[in-house]
Each structure stands twice: as C-alpha cells, then as structure tokens.
Chain A
Amino acid sequence: MPRTTRTGPAKSPELDHPTTLALLATMWRIRCFEERVARLSRSLLVHGLIHLSIGGEGVAAAVCRQLRDDDAVYSGHRAHGHALAKGAPMDRVMSELMGRSDGLCRGLGGSMHLVDREHGLLGATGVVGGNLPLAAGDALAAKLRGTDQVTVVFFGDGAVQGGYFHETVNLAALWELPLIFVCENNGFAEFTPRAAHTKVERVCDVVAPYDFERRTVDGSDVPALWSAFGEYLARARAADGSGRGGGRGPYLLECLTHRLRGHYEGDPQAYREALAEADWARLDPLARLQTDARRRGWLGEDEVRSIEEAARAEVEAAVRFARASPPAEPDATAGLVYARVGTQS
C-alpha cells in the first residue's frame, strides 16, 4: 500500500496583530504563573515535585491557542503552560497545585496530573511517555467517530528513547491517526544531555523510517511555531475523502526549546553552566515575540506593561482564590476510586 499524499490547505497561517497580542497575553500568564509557583514552592505552599516550563511558553501558546476545546491535549510532568494555554482556569490550576478542594482535580492530582475535560486537557501523566499511547487512543476515537477533532500530545526529548514512543508511532502511522506529536526538545532529560541518551540528535530523524511529515522548529520563534503547527493542524483536520469526515495524520513538530530553570524546583543544576543573560534574551520566546511586535509597531511600552500587569494581577487573584479554598477534605477520595456505572465521568 503506497503512502497516500495528504491533501488539505498547505498554506502556513501567519501571525497577525491581534493574534500576536493574544499569544503574548497567554505567554505572560504562563510566565507569571510559573514564577509565582517557584516562590510558592520555596515557601512550601505549593508542594510536591514541580517542573516549570519557563522558556517553553511559546510552544504551549502557539499550539494550544490554535486548538478547540474539543481537541484533546495530552501532556506530561511539565504541564502548567499547556493547561493554561488550553484554557484551564488559572485559579483552579493554582488551587490544584496547592492541594485545595477547588483544585482542577480537587487536590488529588497535583502539578503532574492536571486534567480539565471541558477545555480538552485530557490529561497529564507523570510517567515519562505514559501519555503517548493514550493520545493515540484518543485520536483513534476521533477517527472512528468521523469527527474532525485533532489530538495533540506533548512530550520531551527524553520520552523518545522509550519503547512506548516507537510502539505509538508505528500505530499512528499505520492507522493514519489525526494526531500531532509535539516534542519539546530541550536537550535534557532530567540532568543528562541528549547526547548521553542517543546518537540521534533530532527527534525528527528518529521517526524518519515512518516518513510522515515532520519538522524541527526553533521553539523560541513563536511566529514559526504558529505557522508550522497551524499548517499541520489544518491538514490533520481535513476530511480524508471517505465522505464521513475524520482527520488524518500523524505529524511531528519538534520544537527546540531552552529550559531556563532546573529540571525540578530545587534542582541545584550542577550538571550545566548558568546561561549568560545575552543568551537568554536570544532564547526567551516571550522577549523575542515582544520585541518583534514592538518593531512592527503593534505594541507600545504601555501596552507591554499592561499585558504583564494583567497577568500578574490574575496570578495574584488565583493565589488568593487558592489560599481561601479549603484544603482537600480527607474524605474527598470517597467514591473516586471506582467510577459507578452510569455516572457521567
């Protein structure tokens, strides 16, 4: 069976003025949220293992802001940005991180297990790569139903050396699932550089044998991320010609990102040199997009400040909300171990 060429609009969407501002707002929300989480975790108000995505906000925003609520996103241990960008309410995410009863998952999941069904955040899993086959199953469901939903799975470069990745890629390719693999390749898995994990530097090369469409993009270049993802999304959504809808894929978008902070909050990072300021300015997706927008005259000094201030205000309100929320009740778990037949999830 020869590989089918995929049809559908191939034109890359470009970032316009309002979209740029919306993305900047999303990225600021994530940035401020995570900076605040870092402080809260030092004062132990947020507990457990916390992985921040500062440096990766561009990927979260450019991908999730193009999705609909009924498109499913699967994430991993570094999930805050994906959750916020996908539409999970910030106050409830904050409450979840603080283990409160108003948390997104009533305080039962925490940072690594954010789930918000209404906004299509189907789930984050703490076991590396555990989400990959889940996302493929979700895409299979969309395909079987003949809808035009597209599933996105975020994973790190560290997940690519796991067998589950290859098992999933084979099936996604064989069954042409409407699934977009979004790899955030930050060059590290925990404390080990990619070169210690594999000879294959680019994740795109790992899926080469399957020959589906894939691209490596600079993860701090938000316009590039936007158009690359947008193109794949449009094509994954396109009807497959069978007359009953149903998207088709898969695609892989490999985003080269820089993880500004340690692997987890508290990581002493003895394994790498601190980044020079100038280098960070070059790698920071937020600063880059903002500079770009100002150069185009889309943004003045005041507006920059007001976007940032709005984000900070939202974060502070979220913290207040979470603090006011009672801790998860010890008996909150009653009835949650098993679903009862007929319950609506």
Chain B
Amino acid sequence: MAHELPYIAAINEAIQLEMARDDSVLYFGQNLATTENDEFVRAFGHDRVRVTPIAETAEIGMAVGAALAGLRPVVELYMAEFMLVAMNQVVNEAPRFRYMSGGRVKVPLVLKAGYGFTAGWAGQHTGSIYGMFLGIPGLKVALPATAADAKGLMATAIRDDNPVCFLHHYLLTLEPGEVPDGEYLVPFGQAQIRRAGGDVTIVATGWMVGKALAAAASLAAEGIEAEVIDPRTLAPLDTTTILTSVQKTGHVVLVDQAPRHAAASALIAGEIAEHGFSTLKAPIRQVTGLDVTVPYSEPMEAFVLPDDTKIAAAVRQVLGTAPVPA
C-alpha cells in the first residue's frame, strides 16, 4: 500500500518511524521543536528532539560524540552550506573516527541538509556542494529525487552505521509522490532506472532527474530513446547499473547541477572512461552548472544552471544529430 506525500513529509515520516522503532534515534538542530506543538516533540519529547543554538561545530561534533556513545543522531542543518562552518567535524572527525580506531568504534549519524535552492537565494544559499563530500572515505552521500526515495533513503541512512550526508533538494520540497506505507528502506548503492531506452544513457541526480526525464520525453518525439538513471546515492555509487546501460547505448550524457569542476558527473565520467571505454560510440558529455557562484538575478541564474533544453541538446550532440560546438 502506498499513500501520496510531499517529498519533505516523506522525509519526516521516515524520521518519525525510525524514532518510534529505535529509541536511540535523536533529532536535533536549529529552529525546530521550539514549542510543545511540534509534532516531533509531541511524539518523542524534548530529550530526543532538541533545538540547538546556531553552532554547527557543536551540533555536528555533539552528534559524533552521541554516536560514539551509542545513539543515532539526525542533525537538522537546513542548508548544506551551513555544514561548511563545521568542516572539521564533517570531514576530519565523523568519517575518520572508525577507521583510525581500527574499527573499534562506529559513528552512525545523519547530517540532513537541503541544497540547490536556486530560487533567488543568491550565492551563499544555493550551492550543490555534495561533490566535496565524495572524496571523503567513510562518509556516505544520499540524494533522493522522489518522495518515495526520500523516505526510503532516510530510513536507511538512520540505520546505517556510518555518517551519512542526506541531501534533499530544496526545489523538490513540496513535490508530491507515492510513498510506500510503513517501514520502507531503499538500499544505498543501488541506482534506479527512471526510464528505459536504448539510444543514450543519461545519469542525473536530485532536481536534475526531472529535467532529464523532461528532456527524454521531448527526445522521444524525435525518435530518440533515452535511458535515465538516478544513482540515488553518490557514495556508494552504483557503477554497475551505469556501465550496463552504457554497454547497451554507447552514448552518455551526465547531468549535474553542481559547478562543472565540483560535479559528481566528473567522477562518473572517470569510471565510464576507465571501465566502459570500449563500449562508447561517442565522447561523454557533461551538462553541469557553470563554474560560477549562483547569481541572484533570475536571467543569470537560469543561464548558469542545466535544464531540459540543455540536456536534450547535449543528447543530440552525442548522437551526432546536432553539430558539436567548437
């Protein structure tokens, strides 16, 4: 059985189910649970649901400590950029602790943050900064693109014994979707084929999945069948599904909202180039954000971001049905 929920509500449902299932799960962060009316407070009380000051280093560091002590904190960070003021805890403490202890401890925690809010929030609140977390062994990165995945990946993130960056796309917040009832887990490291097709493989995450599907729909009218793959987690990354598709299509367009040089697509391109080169019939193309800070003004903002038109154009280029710009 399933029910319809907005993406953000699906995330909350997962947190609530996990909190009900396991009383070691905590939920804390800024600007939540400030009144008794808060749904989390009503269900779980102030011990497990807490408002914190604006002190990301303490918030994330305390999550690491509580995790070392056997709890499973979910830290509400709202915007991924706010993690940047606590990078030592995110990069240098949480994911390395287990490893350097030779496996004697574990740090199960979830850093929940939105990203990619390209709606006039200007340079400091709109970034797609997951790329910088991919080079950090020990840290997992989940990027749900649908309400169902949002629920299933959050539940899995909470049960995972490692620090997980759970990054939900801000522009999907109110996007409704069918969500399975009750306990629902989406495994990490399993990509989802959102649309099957034999001509070209498009890989996209988050908000870009919808753009890729829109591009695929318009390409279908031209007789081009695109396969759209959503990795769902970037660490771990399901290269098998991607390579299998590339083997079939021989053509690849990688879509990523991040600036080109910080995009996960570059990493995926590297995997395909190394492990699927012989199956490629044309060079890989990446459709990414430009290497600029996201500008405030709308026309400029649209210019720097990938969209369905840019994706469709890239597909035509790799298939040789459109000229490649010099």
Contact = CB atoms under 8 A, between A and B. Distances in A.
Q: Do A and B bind each other?
A: yes
A139 B271 CA distance: 43
B52 interface: yes
B148 interface: no
Interface size class of chain B, counting residues whose CB lies under 8 Å from the partner chain:
35 or more
Interface in B203-221: none
A269 interface: no
B65 A140 contact: yes
Given A123-B68, A170-B55, A134 B93 contact: yes
Interface string A94-135: 000000000111111110010111000011010100101111
Contacts of B52: 171
Interface in B155-172: 159-162
Interface stretch (B100-108, B114-122, B298-306): B100-108
A339 interface: yes
B169 to A, nearest CB: 24
Contact of B105 (A115, A136, A335): A115
Contacts of A333: 99
Interface string B74-104: 0000000000000011001100011111111
A343 interface: yes
A155 to B, nearest CB: 13
Contacts of B57: 133, 163-164, 167
B66 A164 contact: no
B61 A336 contact: no
A175 to B, nearest CB: 8
Nearest to B99: A336
A328 B103 CA distance: 14
Interface string B30-70: 00000000000000000110001101011111111111111
Interface string B264-290: 000000000000000000000000000
Contacts of A332: 102
Contacts of B140: 338
Contact of A130 (B48, B89, B160, B161): B89
A340 interface: yes
A13 interface: no
B71 interface: yes
A109 B97 CA distance: 9
A5 interface: no
A113 B101 contact: yes
A144 B48 contact: yes
A141 interface: yes
Nearest to B60: A133
Contacts of A91: none
B104 A115 contact: yes
Nearest to B156: A341
B105 A123 contact: yes
Contacts of A341: 159-161
B102 A171 contact: no
B144 interface: no
Nearest to A141: B69
Contacts of B323: none
B26 interface: yes
A122 B70 CA distance: 11
Contacts of A74: 65
A138 interface: yes
- Sorted nearest first, the 7 A-B pairs with minimum C-beta distance are A133-B61, A137-B65, A106-B102, A137-B62, A339-B161, A167-B58, A141-B69
Given A130-B93, A133-B59, A137-B69, 5 more contacts: A109-B102, A115-B101, A133-B64, A138-B66, A340-B161
